[in-house]
Amino acid sequence: MSIENSEPNAPSNPLSNARIVLVHTTHPGNIGAVARAMKNMGLQQLYLVKPKAFPHERAIWRSASAVDILDNAVVVETLEEAVADCGLVVGTSARGRRIPWPLVNPRVCAEKVYPELAQHPVALVFGREDRGLTNEELQACHLHVNIPASEDYSSLNLGMAVQVVSYELRMHHLAMQDQLSTDEMQEWDTRMARVDEIERMFVHLEETLIEMDFLNPAAPKQLMTRLRRLYNRTRMDDLEVQMMRGILTSTQQWVRKARDK
C-alpha cells in the first residue's frame, strides 16, 4: 500500500487532510493548547465553531510556537459549516448514549480515519469543555471516539484530548511510512536475480576458483558454503549477477593465458 494515493488530488502527506474542529470553546487558552498539540503531531487544519473569545492573547500565549496554526484557523458559526466538505466526521464522546453509535478508541479511530485522508478531509470534532458535544451534534458524526481514561479520574482537558487522538493518528502515519521504507526494492532499477541464475553463478565461481588453484576439489572444506552464505546475505539483481559472471570469465581467461606462457 502506498502512502501517496493514486487519486489525482491525493495529498502528499495525508495528515494535512485531518481537521480538528472545536465546538463553542469557552477558554481561549484551550484553543492555544490545542494548536500546540496539533503542531506537535503534524496536523494543520483547525476549525473553530463559534468560539467565545478568538483571536485572543491567551490563545497565542498557550500555543507556544504554534501561532501559525492559530493564524490559519477558520472560524465558522455552525458545525455544519465546519464539516461541509469532509467525507468522514468523527465526534469525541465521553459517555454512552441512549441510541448506540459506532464507538471506537483513539487507536482504532486512527486505523479507520487514516485510509480516508488520502481521499478527502476528515473532521475530528471536540465539544465544549464542560459538557462536550450535544446529542444532535454527535448524531451529525459518522463515528464516535472515546478516550478510555481511568474510571477513578476520567477528566481530560481539551488540549490533552486533542493530543491523544492526534498522537494515535500520527503513530499510524509513521507505521505506514515504516512499512513502505522496509520495502527496499520498491524502486530498484532492475529485477532481482532468479534462483537458477544465482546457482549458475555459484557453479561458475567454483570452476574459476578451481582453475586458480584456490579451491582444491579433493578437499573443498567449507569454502563454497561460506561463499554462498556471503553472497546470499545480499540479494543480487540480474545485472549484478551478469557483472560477476563477466569478472569470473575474465579471470578464467587471464589464468589460462598465464598457464599457456
Let me know if residue 81 belongs to a domain. yes
Q: Please tell me the predicted confidence (pLDDT) of residue 169.
A: 97
Indicate whether 9 belongs to any domain. Answer: no
The whole model's pTM is what? 0.69
Q: Report CA-CA distances (Å) from 107 to 112, 113, 168.
A: 9, 10, 5
Q: Render pLDDT for 135-158 as a digit per residue (tens, 0 to 9).
A: 889 888 888 999 998 888 888 899
Full domain range(s) for residue 105: 14-181
- What pLDDT digit, counting tens, does each position of 220-248 carry? 888 998 898 888 877 788 899 999 999 99
Residues 216, 167, single domain; the answer is no
Residues 149, 78, single domain; the answer is yes
From 58, 21, 65, select the one nearest 161 (Cα to Cα): 21
Number of domains in the chain: 2
* Pairing, β 45-49 against β 122-126: unpaired
Residue 170, domain member (yes or no):
yes
Boundary (domain end) residue, out of 181, 209, 230: 181
